Chains A and B, each alone.
Chain A
């Protein structure tokens, strides 16, 4: 054995002549017939892919197809009406209203829950007595089934119920409303309940993001004379931005599709004053057994999500999709 090969052997895996020739940057690969790699890939990938395509993509494709028919969900699918379901939907003021409500809730979720969650996460991101307990408490509503939350709040908010009594106890009896029955108030009530349920999620995700920021950076800035506010503004928040963007994405997609809590609180009522695209779909499509129409609404809802995702991907996420996704939730 010559001196140089001995040296190579000492350096590790790249010991044989041909792998040295292949260059130091190329990783060694498991050898084996191509067929074997293909088999392995198929075994690993196929089950998940079949499940996903069969139960997610195909049903949605079918929905798009059904949306072109006048169909009650039973009997033959033979009354082809083109895009009439769509044009009917966009002519229905109740549907337009449900789109408006959905957009209000979405914008409010980002504009109000976002800053609130950031502020609370910043405050909680320090050591203090009871921090773990608090974190647990704040996150708790998120793990409750929305349906159960809905039942709980409908009990609390019933006329003369607990909420009203609390307002009176604080001398705010004048503010008491028919929380779920006043057409001018109900959307705000619904938003408050949604905030109760989902704020904790934002806080925990952002806290996780905050903990990923190295303390050395903040210390270095502090040594250089930065005030706590400057440290927050110039270091913490910019480094938190990827997490915020991911939180924003999840929140918007979730808000566009919101259903459970509202369905149980109000079924979109009274008189459609708290309807969203999802509640409209279930009320006008499923419950009235107009499945073709319901499918059209479902496709429209998907279009909203899709357009948002494209725009968001293009302008906000492009820079950091992979890193941010892993940092935010993984």
Chain B
């Protein structure tokens, strides 16, 4: 450490100096180990999906011998997988839309208006952050029964949107408040109505935060397990996580089939993530600059 202390100042300005030779190898070591620990289990599931059950029993950690695509094709050509996928897409899309629309409306009310009780309403929303969906799950079940939403995809999506509102408010309200008041003044002086100011100026400016909030709501809904488990009863209404676990318990002897199903169940989440990662990281890293 001390050896390169003095050389550091100019090096720091050129960004990489001698530091590079001490820190970069450590970075790569951590990078490789981290990558390995993350990817190997995922690869294992994908690769084992190409094996036969006999092959897996013979050598649990070996490469497929021979490679068979039958596990994947039989899942992809049967109805349940696509039903689960469709249900997951429907539920997550409805939950995300509801969260975004109602959440941003409420955040506008709590950030752009001065009124008595504003902080109270904000606290009410934020307090929801403490409620696990598990606490409300049972009465929610009875409520949905009364509303005729039991075993219905909307019966999952609507409560999920409600439970996503706290984090939405926590992110959106400070973001909207941080937008300089001068913009508001300028819009007003130029004769824009309040509504027009919201729609044409605030919402576009809040896009990074809205994307973050939307992604969070989508991922949370997509990954939700307990609520669909309680609310959905017919297997044709199941979501992908619920369906995966059901598949595992139903075909507990068919390891290769479970592997293939699990691998396929990961594809949408990982695919969407690779596509949206740019937004997620951009959103997370100080969107206020936007």
Contact = CB atoms under 8 A, between A and B. Distances in A.
Interface stretch (A46-54, A89-97, A104-112, A172-180): A46-54
Given A60-B136, A134-B34, A147-B225, A152 B284 contact: no
Given A48-B102, A49-B121, A27 B241 contact: no
Interface string B81-104: 000000000000000001000110
Nearest to A279: B134
B165 interface: yes
A45 B60 contact: no
Interface of B is mostly: helix
A48 B165 contact: yes
A77 to B, nearest CB: 10
Contacts of B175: 326, 330
A41 B266 contact: no
Nearest to A168: B61
A288 interface: no
Interface in A252-280: 253, 256-257, 259-260, 263-264, 278
B5 A139 contact: no
Interface of B: 1-2, 5-6, 8-9, 12-13, 15, 19, 23-24, 26-28, 30-31, 34-35, 37-39, 41-42, 44-45, 48, 59-61, 98, 102-103, 105-106, 108-110, 113, 115, 121, 124-125, 128-132, 134-140, 142-143, 158-159, 161-163, 165-167, 170-172, 174-175, 178, 181, 184-186, 188-189, 193-195, 209, 212-213, 216, 219, 222-223, 225-226, 230, 240-242, 244-245, 248, 255, 258-259, 262, 265-266, 269-270, 272-274, 277, 280-281, 283-288
28 contacts: A41-B113, A45-B110, A47-B105, A48-B102, A48-B103, A48-B105, A55-B140, A56-B165, A59-B137, A60-B139, A123-B26, A135-B277, A138-B35, A144-B266, A146-B225, A148-B244, A151-B258, A155-B258, A162-B48, A169-B61, A212-B286, A219-B12, A227-B2, A227-B5, A322-B174, A323-B174, A327-B286, A330-B288
